[in-house]
Amino acid sequence: MNSVVCIAQVPDTEARIKIADGRRIDETGLKFIVSPYDEFALEEAIRVKEAKGGDVTVVSFGPDRVQQALRECLARGATKALHIKGESGSADALGIAKTLAAAIRSVPHDLLFFGKQGVGTDNSLVGPMVAELLGYPQLNVVTHLEVGEGKITAHREIEGAEEILEASMPAVITAQKGLNEPRYASLKGIMAAKKITIETKTLPDLGLQESDIHHQRVTVVALELPPEKSGGRKIDGGEPATAAKEILKYIREEAKAL
């Protein structure tokens, strides 16, 4: 049972965002991490490998810094890594999906794992787009997965309910928090990861035209910070009944919510 995990490298969730030229974030001094939802995707693929054998290949499209993210995934238990070099920041979700789909075609796979969204760009688009491009079923926002003989069963989170879906393989799974508890890299894993060569490819290697990937369909024309909030009134809540009355007054008169 071979799995591919597509990962995105994103700014640390604790980082403050600064804007560079009105269109991009300023990467100076910014710490990057593996997108948090991708960690659940990777963990699930490693568990499948531990139960059924096979490879876990991590794939990422981006500039050279993504090698660090791939290395981290290898340390946690992925067995192979593929870096597609390019400025993923100027590609829209479909451009990224086309790149990943082209790369995945040459990697043996039964299951494709993604995070349910890349934290930062917050699109929630790439996994299902890859599923469509490859003609596979998609199981989106998955909180539980069982891999059987030739088919998988997944629990999908929807508003106020949960769906249980059965799909044939190969299939695309997008991971939601709660799917598992991701492990940390062990020292042994970190040492072993150093011996693995990260394969690199370019868009032309994959038979793709730069012009179909970059600056197409959806383009960012402006990026701005939200207006700074100054904080409003602060009151002393030492007397609970009085505080409750004040809050209720605010709710009724300003929020007009009752």
**Contacts (CB under 8 A) with other proteins, residues 214-253:** 216-226, 229-238, 240-241, 243-248, 250-252
Q: Is 20 in the site for other proteins (CB under 8 A)?
A: no
- Give min distance, CB of 39 to other proteins, in A: 10
Q: Is 159 in the site for other proteins (CB under 8 A)?
A: yes
59 phi and psi angles, rounded to 5 deg: -125, 135
Pick the piece of the chain touching other proteins (CB under 8 A) from 10-18, 42-50, 67-75, 81-89. Answer: 10-18
How many residues bind other proteins, per CB under 8 A? Answer: 87
Whole-number Cα distances in Å, 21 to 27, 219, 224: 11, 15, 10
What part of residues 30-49 is at the interface with other proteins (CB under 8 A)? 36-37
Q: Is 105 in the site for other proteins (CB under 8 A)?
A: no
Q: Which CB atom, from 22 or from 194, has the smaller least distance to other proteins?
A: 22
Q: Is 120 in the site for other proteins (CB under 8 A)?
A: yes
Chain length of the chain: 258
How many Å apart are CA 101 and CA 109, to the nearest integer?
12
Could you check whether the bond before residue 170 is cis, i.e. omega within 30 degrees of 0? yes
| Residue 212 Ramachandran class (φ > 0 left, ψ -120 to 50 alpha, else beta) | alpha
DSSP state of 204: G
Q: Which CB atom, from 191 or from 223, has the smaller least distance to other proteins?
A: 223
Residue with tokens 């981006």: 62
- Give min distance, CB of 110 to other proteins, in A: 14
Query: Binder to other proteins among 68, 164, 191, 209 (CB under 8 A)?
Result: 164
Give the bridge partners for 21, in sequence order.
Answer: none
- Give min distance, CB of 104 to other proteins, in A: 14
Q: Which CB atom, from 64 or from 228, has the smaller least distance to other proteins?
A: 228
How many Å apart are CA 93 and CA 174, to the nearest integer?
15
DSSP-derived 3-state class of residue 116 = coil
Pick the piece of the chain touching other proteins (CB under 8 A) from 47-55, 61-69, 117-125, 201-209. Answer: 117-125
Q: Is 141 in the site for other proteins (CB under 8 A)?
A: yes
Cα–Cα nearest to 173, from 61, 27, 47: 47
